[in-house]
Chains A and B, each alone.
Chain A
């Protein structure tokens, strides 16, 4: 924090409108980081008021301040160690009694506190009236009623913050009387006072209460600081058991009980609930939304709508945004050195590769924007906990959590999700074990980018059973994911912390447009910043691996000869047209080639007759002679045009052959070949290996690389689709090969963007590596099983497909029956 800033912390229970308050107070000046060592978001913002600069930290929403969850630990440690000048305790005024449970704990930490009674409008609607004066008197803190969603009360809140920060003498808040526990508290307080280090640094009464509650983090603090820590802590233990013996309840139970009683007591005099027994609207809605039959139907409807709006409509939107990205590409193209007949300047090749890699990701932004906005709607409306409520039983059997539902839906529970938002939305899962399991299995679901390869292979090898093959590949990923996640939670994740499911079902709210859009923008920006930058860096590496060491001079001479032959042939053919012959001499020939390519590209991007006419006029004025060859009118021009097209075709063939050879020679190509002794059991040859390796950067690359490797050899093949080329080219590639390849693709390691998201969400490099290695082993095993097993048994592609389906189904059922051990301690 900058010196001179006044530090303000926002604390409150979940669903009290805290983020609305934070946004209203800080406006656009916000910053998100992580608390050290945990993956809890730390949101910081600023505001200026009467010349002072206030730094506001939005603490995670918590019901209490124990050391059982990372959120609570983070919130508590922040107050304890950063010592903010003011804590604003945001409460839901419509449910104030329960909110006070946290307020008391904050007051006990002896930091100047303001009680913000937020959502007053909701309280009024529910017939709740609050006697603010009486409340202030009973608590001994300043209370500020607000309705931040409607922008009411902001000025009063800022004034209260300012005056609380300015007050040097702390206003004495009331103390909760813990009754029978008081002598015990006093006993420990006295012992703590003898220790200068703890006595000076921490609020003593709070510290004593925490020790009596048996809080392990606080005992840990004592261990490090107290001179006679061992003896002191065993004394605390004696006190704890003595209290339980005499009063029939553990101190922590007694403490919670007294807090609730005090809240009840205060509520009786300062809160008037005019309509306490009204069946709430939320309960009525839940009657439908969580209904045995209607609930799942509504859930499927919501998921369908999410897919439809984000994936289908978002994809349509990319039709409008893609031309912008294409323009960016041609701009880059026009800025880089012009290519020679067979020499493509490295700078040009690199720049275009780089732009293509970035564009592939940026192209998803419309989809992401809609997706993130819809997630925000789900979060704000209160539907998210209901999704968890409906799905918990099913997912719980496989070591996952009810709250894994949304991440899995985003990741592509059927076909066409994206692992990046899927992994990013795992944040809210409170159970560490389930959260990690969810993060690790999401990349195995069917993301949008895996689909082109499926479609390609199904069209070639399962043409007769397209629908069945598509059904297989769409559902097999979920079927494999469930036993895999169970396996993970039984092995590598076995000792991870678990958390109780106990979850609030907050009242339904109408989401506010501003909040929804704001969060969508924020998350898209995070995606661009965190992920695109790293993908760009890795694109450079993959480029180098594909490009170098390149072709040796002998091979270059060979291609040079090919070039000279092609050019000589061209000149010979147009000898009879001296005018053209003269114009296309020397360097002009290459100019014509580039002119031709540009004209072709420009025509591809132009739509409508008028635009086409303008385009042609442009090119004509640029070079009338070239234009007459490119767009021939008379017989002579047509003849030259035909010969010229042949020349271009010859050139393209040379370029493709060079590319193929370069990949073949490249480091990645060598790696692909080195791997064949292993991958041949899965039926992959080196070309497939290279395609799969290049797909590490982005899954879409697999089809593009296959396209480069299975290129037309004879001129007659030029116009064949990749499907036809693969079919002709790869002798012995059977449906069984294709099935093995598809299954490998399902389980294939996450793309780079996802890998980075995994790193961010787990906060660990180790888990990131694990998330790359284990799917690779799993995928290879599945592919080998299908290919080698299928070959040994003489199965056809379809037979092997259903045999595998049966195996996966059996594995899922068997794993569902195994029990996870759950500890509630």
Chain B
């Protein structure tokens, strides 16, 4: 399963980033790395982007970008 499919309000754990380079590095630098717990807080009013909470802070990313994050639902 990938992060973009997770419904708001659910928790999941990051398994793997299936992209490297700019987006992959950026996600890692923002604290998205395998093993960490993530809560999907909400989608934007027009569905995209989405807001997450991880490790005590919030970030947002587009669903197109979340596609590259493999997760397991908790």
Q: Using CB atoms and an 8 Å cutoff, list the residues of chain A in contact with chain B.
A: 63-64, 66, 68, 95, 97-98, 101, 250, 252-253, 256-257, 260, 273, 276, 280, 282-283, 286-287, 290-293, 295-296, 385, 389-390, 392-394, 396, 402, 499-507, 822, 824-825
In the complex, the chain B residue whose C-beta lies closest to that of A279 is B53
Q: Using CB atoms and an 8 Å cutoff, list the residues of chain B in contact with chain A.
A: 17, 19-31, 33-36, 41-42, 44-49, 51, 53, 55-62, 64-65, 68
B64 near A393 with CB under 8 A, answer: no
Partner of B62, one of A97, A98, A501: A501
Q: Which residues of B contact A282 (CB under 8 A)?
A: 58
B45 near A504 with CB under 8 A, answer: no
Q: Which residues of A contact B45 (CB under 8 A)?
A: 290-293, 295-296, 390
Besides A290-B42, A500-B22, A504-B59, 4 more A-B contacts (Cβ < 8 Å) are A253-B28, A276-B56, A394-B46, A502-B60
In the complex, the chain B residue whose C-beta lies closest to that of A278 is B56
Q: Which residues of A contact B68 (CB under 8 A)?
A: 824
State whether A505 and B60 are in contact (beta carbons under 8 Å apart), knowing that A68-B22, A98-B55, A394-B46 are contacts in the complex.
Answer: yes
The 8 closest A-B pairs by CB, nearest first: A824-B23, A393-B46, A64-B29, A505-B58, A825-B21, A256-B28, A63-B29, A393-B48
B41 near A283 with CB under 8 A, answer: yes
B60 near A393 with CB under 8 A, answer: no
- Cα distance, A797 to B50, chains bound together (Å): 45
In the complex, the chain B residue whose C-beta lies closest to that of A248 is B16
- Cα distance, A256 to B27, chains bound together (Å): 10
- Cα distance, A319 to B60, chains bound together (Å): 44
- Cα distance, A390 to B29, chains bound together (Å): 24
- Cα distance, A758 to B71, chains bound together (Å): 43
Q: Nearest Cβ distance between residue A273 and chain B, in whole angstroms? A: 8
State whether A389 and B29 are in contact (beta carbons under 8 Å apart), knowing that A97-B55, A286-B58, A501-B49 are contacts in the complex.
Answer: no
- Cα distance, A257 to B45, chains bound together (Å): 33
Q: Nearest Cβ distance between residue B37 and chain A, in whole angstroms? A: 11
Partner of B31, one of A98, A390, A825: A98
A393 near B49 with CB under 8 A, answer: yes
State whether A824 and B21 are in contact (beta carbons under 8 Å apart), knowing that A295-B45, A393-B48, A502-B61 are contacts in the complex.
Answer: yes
A66 near B58 with CB under 8 A, answer: no
Q: Nearest Cβ distance between residue A818 and chain B, in whole angstroms? A: 16
Q: Which residues of B contact A396 (CB under 8 A)?
A: 48, 62
Number of A-B residue pairs, CB cutoff 8 Å, is 133
Q: Which of A292, A385, A393, A824 counts the most chain B CB atoms within 10 A? A: A824
In the complex, the chain A residue whose C-beta lies closest to that of B34 is A257
B61 near A501 with CB under 8 A, answer: yes
Partner of A392, one of B25, B30, B62: B62
A257 near B33 with CB under 8 A, answer: yes
In the complex, the chain B residue whose C-beta lies closest to that of A98 is B31
Q: Nearest Cβ distance between residue B23 and chain A, in whole angstroms? A: 4
* 14 A-B interface contacts by CB (under 8 A): A64-B28, A252-B28, A253-B24, A260-B33, A273-B56, A283-B41, A287-B42, A290-B42, A290-B51, A392-B44, A500-B27, A500-B65, A503-B59, A825-B23
Q: Which residues of A contact B47 (CB under 8 A)?
A: 393
A389 near B49 with CB under 8 A, answer: yes
- Cα distance, A95 to B53, chains bound together (Å): 13
Q: Which residues of A contact B64 (CB under 8 A)?
A: 822
- Cα distance, A63 to B33, chains bound together (Å): 14
Q: Which residues of A contact B23 (CB under 8 A)?
A: 500, 502, 824-825
Q: Nearest Cβ distance between residue B51 and chain A, in whole angstroms? A: 6
Partner of A505, one of B17, B55, B59: B59
Q: Nearest Cβ distance between residue B53 and chain A, in whole angstroms? A: 7
In the complex, the chain A residue whose C-beta lies closest to that of B52 is A505
State whether A390 and B30 are in contact (beta carbons under 8 Å apart), knowing that A253-B17, A500-B65, A502-B65 are contacts in the complex.
Answer: no
Q: Which residues of B contact A390 (CB under 8 A)?
A: 44-46
State whether A824 and B19 are in contact (beta carbons under 8 Å apart), knowing that A63-B29, A291-B45, A393-B44 are contacts in the complex.
Answer: yes
In the complex, the chain B residue whose C-beta lies closest to that of A68 is B22
Q: Nearest Cβ distance between residue B46 and chain A, in whole angstroms? A: 4
Q: Which residues of A contact B30 (CB under 8 A)?
A: 63, 502, 504
State whether A501 and B33 are in contact (beta carbons under 8 Å apart), knowing that A253-B20, A390-B45 are contacts in the complex.
Answer: no
- Cα distance, A260 to B42, chains bound together (Å): 26
- Cα distance, A610 to B58, chains bound together (Å): 64
Q: Which residues of B contact A822 (CB under 8 A)?
A: 64
Q: Which residues of A contact B36 (CB under 8 A)?
A: 260
A504 near B57 with CB under 8 A, answer: yes
Q: Nearest Cβ distance between residue A494 and chain B, in whole angstroms? A: 17
B25 near A252 with CB under 8 A, answer: yes
Q: Which residues of B contact A66 (CB under 8 A)?
A: 25, 29
- Cα distance, A280 to B58, chains bound together (Å): 10
Partner of A824, one of B22, B35, B46, B53: B22
- Cα distance, A515 to B60, chains bound together (Å): 27
A256 near B60 with CB under 8 A, answer: no
Q: Which of B25, B30, B33 counts the most chain A CB atoms within 10 A? A: B25
Q: Nearest Cβ distance between residue A289 and chain B, in whole angstroms? A: 10
A286 near B48 with CB under 8 A, answer: no
Q: Nearest Cβ distance between residue B72 and chain A, in whole angstroms? A: 17
B44 near A95 with CB under 8 A, answer: no
B29 near A256 with CB under 8 A, answer: yes
State whether A824 and B60 are in contact (beta carbons under 8 Å apart), knowing that A257-B33, A392-B44 are contacts in the complex.
Answer: no
In the complex, the chain A residue whose C-beta lies closest to that of B27 is A502
Q: Which of A66, A250, A502, A503 counts the most chain B CB atoms within 10 A? A: A502
Partner of A503, one of B17, B28, B61: B61
A402 near B49 with CB under 8 A, answer: yes
- Cα distance, A396 to B45, chains bound together (Å): 14
B51 near A825 with CB under 8 A, answer: no
Q: Which residues of B contact A95 (CB under 8 A)?
A: 56-57
State whether A499 and B20 are in contact (beta carbons under 8 Å apart), knowing that A98-B55, A504-B59 are contacts in the complex.
Answer: no
- Cα distance, A17 to B41, chains bound together (Å): 25
A500 near B42 with CB under 8 A, answer: no
- Cα distance, A533 to B30, chains bound together (Å): 42
In the complex, the chain B residue whose C-beta lies closest to that of A282 is B58
Q: Nearest Cβ distance between residue A88 and chain B, in whole angstroms? A: 21
- Cα distance, A402 to B45, chains bound together (Å): 13
- Cα distance, A402 to B49, chains bound together (Å): 10
Q: Which residues of A contact B58 (CB under 8 A)?
A: 282-283, 286, 504-507
- Cα distance, A64 to B33, chains bound together (Å): 14
Q: Which residues of A contact B44 (CB under 8 A)?
A: 290, 295, 389-390, 392-393
- Cα distance, A389 to B57, chains bound together (Å): 16
Q: Nearest Cβ distance between residue B64 and chain A, in whole angstroms? A: 7
- Cα distance, A98 to B28, chains bound together (Å): 11
Q: Nearest Cβ distance between residue A755 and chain B, in whole angstroms? A: 32
- Cα distance, A400 to B65, chains bound together (Å): 17
- Cα distance, A19 to B27, chains bound together (Å): 25
- Cα distance, A253 to B58, chains bound together (Å): 22
A500 near B26 with CB under 8 A, answer: yes
B20 near A250 with CB under 8 A, answer: yes
A101 near B22 with CB under 8 A, answer: no
Q: Which of B19, B24, B49 counts the most chain A CB atoms within 10 A? A: B49
Q: Nearest Cβ distance between residue A11 and chain B, in whole angstroms? A: 14
- Cα distance, A287 to B31, chains bound together (Å): 22
In the complex, the chain B residue whose C-beta lies closest to that of A261 is B35
A389 near B51 with CB under 8 A, answer: yes
In the complex, the chain B residue whose C-beta lies closest to that of A502 is B61
Q: Nearest Cβ distance between residue A480 and chain B, in whole angstroms? A: 22
A502 near B59 with CB under 8 A, answer: yes
Q: Which residues of B contact A257 (CB under 8 A)?
A: 33-35
In the complex, the chain A residue whose C-beta lies closest to that of B31 is A98
Q: Nearest Cβ distance between residue A284 and chain B, in whole angstroms? A: 11
- Cα distance, A802 to B39, chains bound together (Å): 48
